């Protein structure tokens, strides 16, 4: 769904949209398992357009240690602020105030809600995800998933580049 900046009024207007996993690409950071629902209000104030609401979906991510798939619900509140780029200063160097760092410039007067959902989901993703608290990860030598098999790799082997450090005490 596309929102025209010029059509947004001062009074909040309810938005209810659903996006399929094919609609929202998470740039290799994960993938949607279910439909993403957007329930928000859009309104204009002080020449800015605000979208406030909630996004809900289920995301599949990879465990940081063993690379197994982890499915996690994403249910987040958000606020996105948009400013028409044509109303901004055209100077090449402008000091940006702290409050303006959370604002997005809209170049063509249109906001794509798919992009809003995509951006908010990417911002909400954790840096590290684990399949369990006691995940053993992958063996650094043979790549075996240590949660499934105990490999026979010798833990005592030292990388020859670091071997000289073993003698230091």
% of the chain surpassing 70 pLDDT: 88
% of the chain surpassing 90 pLDDT: 60
Q: Is 124 helix (H, G, I), strand (E, B) or coil?
A: helix
**Global pTM exceeds 0.85:** no
Specify the residue for token string 């240690």. Answer: 65
pLDDT beyond 80 at 158: no
Specify the residue for token string 């906001």. Answer: 111
85-107 burial, b at 16+ Cβ within 10 Å, e below that, comes to eeeeeeeeeeeeeeeeeebeebe
Is pLDDT larger for residue 140 or for residue 134? Answer: 134
φ, ψ at 115 (rounded to 5°): -70, -35
Q: Is 23 helix (H, G, I), strand (E, B) or coil?
A: coil
pLDDT digit string (tens) for 78-123? Answer: 999 999 877 666 665 555 565 556 678 888 888 999 999 999 999 9
Burial class (CB in 10 A: 0-12, 13-18, 19+), 24: buried
What pLDDT score was predicted for residue 101?
60
């Amino acid at each position: 769904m596309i929102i025209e900046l010029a059509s947004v009024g001062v009074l909040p207007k309810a938005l209810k949209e659903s996006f399929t996993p094919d609609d929202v690409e998470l740039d290799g950071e994960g993938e949607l398992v279910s439909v993403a629902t957007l329930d928000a209000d859009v309104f204009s104030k002080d020449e800015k357009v605000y979208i406030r609401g909630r996004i809900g979906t289920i995301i599949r991510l990879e465990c940081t240690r063993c690379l197994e798939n982890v499915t996690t619900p994403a249910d987040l509140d958000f606020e996105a602020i948009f400013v028409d780029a044509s109303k901004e200063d055209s100077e090449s160097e402008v000091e940006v105030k702290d409050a303006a760092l959370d604002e997005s410039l809209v170049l063509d007067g249109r906001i794509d809600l798919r992009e809003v959902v995509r951006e908010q989901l990417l911002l909400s993703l954790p840096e590290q995800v684990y399949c369990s608290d006691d995940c053993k990860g992958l063996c650094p030598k043979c790549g075996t998933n240590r949660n499934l098999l105990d490999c026979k790799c010798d833990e005592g082997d030292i990388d020859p580049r670091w071997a000289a450090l073993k003698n230091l005490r």
